[in-house]
């Protein structure tokens, strides 16, 4: 399913239904939906692997359990989108707006989140971010409780007041310079080379 890039960009009603009774749609793997207006679209469990969704408007979209592995979502608008249990392994989310998005138990292994924007309503509870690149991302107040940050690159990431309770990390995790010592002091070793940040109290929250 291909859409040419033009002033008549694809709209949600050309691709899938919206609303709670919308049918599950099938979109070809690798489909080109760049800059498409897909606000509020329902794509629960759809196969969007390797899809081109750069700069697409996916605000308030239902993308739960959707396969977005290897998808191009750079600079996409995912404001209030629900990506819970979605597979975003290897996806390009550089510069994406993930404010108020739900990524509960989402798989973001190896994803590029460079410069992505998140806020205190962004929920990454139990998300897998192993090997993900978050350089320069904004995670101010984001909920990362229980997330796996093994091998993740958080250099220059802005994450004041982020909830880091039960976050797992290892020797390959690159923390923002101001957090290196703090994280080390507030973590316990759970196995060889693997650590977990304490669950309760100030230890679970990144400082301002």
pLDDT confidence tier of residue 206, bands split at 50, 70 and 90: low
Three-state SS string over 115-161 comes to CCEECCCCECCCCECCCCECCCCEECCCECCCCECCCCECCCCECCC
Question: Residues near 155 by Cβ (< 8 Å), separated by ≥ 6?
Answer: 135, 136, 174, 176
* Ramachandran sector of residue 83 (left: φ over 0; alpha: ψ -120 to 50; beta: rest): alpha
Q: Which residue do the tokens 């904004």 mark?
A: 138
Query: Residues 180, 135, 38, 122: what is their CA dihedral angle, to the nearest 10 degrees?
Result: 10
What are the pLDDT digits (tens) for 4-45? 333 344 444 445 544 433 434 556 667 899 999 999 999 999
Average pLDDT value for the chain: 87
What are the pLDDT digits (tens) for 86-132? 999 999 999 999 999 999 999 999 999 999 999 999 999 999 999 99
Query: Residues 163, 167, 171, 175: what is their CA dihedral angle, to the nearest 10 degrees?
Result: -10
User: What is the pairing mode between strands 168-170 and 194-197?
Assistant: antiparallel
Cα-based angle 135, 138, 142 (whole degrees, multiple of 5): 120
Whether 163 has a pLDDT exceeding 50, the answer reads: yes
More confident residue, 83 or 199: 83
The CA R_g of the chain, rounded to the nearest whole Å, is 17
Residue 204's pLDDT is 59
Instruction: Give pTM, 2 decimals.
Output: 0.85
Query: Residues 119, 132, 44, 100: what is their CA dihedral angle, to the nearest 10 degrees?
Result: 0
């Amino acid at each position: 399913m291909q859409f040419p890039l033009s002033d008549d960009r694809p709209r949600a009603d050309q691709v899938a239904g919206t609303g709670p009774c919308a049918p599950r749609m099938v979109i070809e793997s690798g489909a080109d939906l760049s800059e498409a207006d897909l606000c509020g679209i329902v794509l629960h469990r759809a196969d969007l692997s390797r899809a081109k969704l750069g700069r697409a408007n996916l605000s308030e979209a239902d993308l739960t359990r959707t396969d977005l592995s290897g998808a191009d979502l750079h600079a996409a608008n995912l404001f209030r989108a629900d990506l819970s249990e979605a597979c975003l392994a290897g996806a390009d989310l550089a510069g994406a707006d993930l404010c108020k998005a739900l990524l509960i138990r989402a798989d973001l292994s190896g994803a590029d989140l460079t410069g992505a924007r998140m806020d205190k309503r962004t929920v990454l509870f139990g998300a897998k971010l192993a090997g993900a690149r978050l350089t320069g991302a904004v995670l101010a107040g984001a909920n990362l409780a229980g997330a796996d940050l093994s091998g993740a690159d958080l250099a220059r990431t802005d994450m004041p007041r982020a909830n880091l309770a039960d976050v797992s990390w290892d020797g390959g995790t690159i923390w923002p310079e101001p957090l290196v010592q703090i994280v080390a002091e507030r973590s316990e070793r759970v196995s060889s080379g693997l650590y977990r940040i304490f669950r309760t109290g100030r230890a679970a929250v990144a400082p301002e």
